[in-house]
Amino acid sequence: MKIDHIGIATRGIEDALGFWRDALGLEVKHTETVEEQGVRVAMLPVGEPRVELLEPTGPDSPVAKFLEKRGPGIHHVAVRVADIRAALARLRAEGARLIDEEPRVGAGGCLVAFVHPAASGGVLLELVQGTNEPAGQSTEGR
């Protein structure tokens, strides 16, 4: 397993880039809107792992609700796994509370699934299977 990215909730990606890109010096490699999750994302590599800036697309977005409750900051940690279905099966067998019983397509066209923060002691965990391929390339059936 590897850390794939750290998801950071922001009220606006443009403002957040004032720090992550301009002050710190990271490069924006990829931006996209993931309608299904109600977020706009910007990916900034830090070595192999990436910082994923998240901005809600509307008031009903889970990230909008997170911002309301907790304010901007670390939203989730994403771990890359070789076989997401096997990882979910293992967690399920261990009694870990899952948000997604089945993987879905996330940013970059990867298969993703979220594990409830209650399972890990307070950290929302995202499992990711796939590479950093651009969106639009299906990873279904891999």
Residues forming a β-bridge with 80 = 2, 128
Q: 97 to 126, contacts with Co ion by CB under 5 A?
A: 126
Q: Which is nearer to Co ion, 9 or 95 (CB)?
A: 9
Q: What is the dihedral of CA 98, 125, 30, 15, to 10 degrees?
A: 120
User: Distance (Å, rounded) from C-alpha 101 to C-alpha 88?
Assistant: 7
Q: Give the count of residues interacting with Co ion (CB under 5 A).
A: 4
Residue nearest to Co ion (CB): 7
**7 contributes a contact to Co ion by CB under 5 A:** yes
Q: 45 to 64, contacts with Co ion by CB under 5 A?
A: 52
Closest approach of Co ion to the CB of residue 5, in Å: 6
Helices (DSSP H) in 30-75: which residue ranges? 62-70
User: Distance (Å, rounded) from C-alpha 120 to C-alpha 139?
Assistant: 27
**78 contributes a contact to Co ion by CB under 5 A:** yes
Closest approach of Co ion to the CB of residue 116, in Å: 15
Q: Read off the tokens for 53.
A: 């800036």
Q: Which is nearer to Co ion, 78 or 87 (CB)?
A: 78
Question: If 0-12 CB within 10 Å is exposed, 13-18 middle and 19+ buried, where does residue 116 land?
Answer: middle
**130 contributes a contact to Co ion by CB under 5 A:** no
Q: How many other C-beta atoms lie within 10 A of the C-beta of residue 67?
A: 19
The answer to whether 30 and 43 have CB atoms below 8 angstroms apart is yes
Q: Which is nearer to Co ion, 52 or 55 (CB)?
A: 52
Q: Which is nearer to Co ion, 32 or 93 (CB)?
A: 32
Q: Which is nearer to Co ion, 17 or 53 (CB)?
A: 53
Positions that interact with Co ion (CB under 5 A): 7, 52, 78, 126
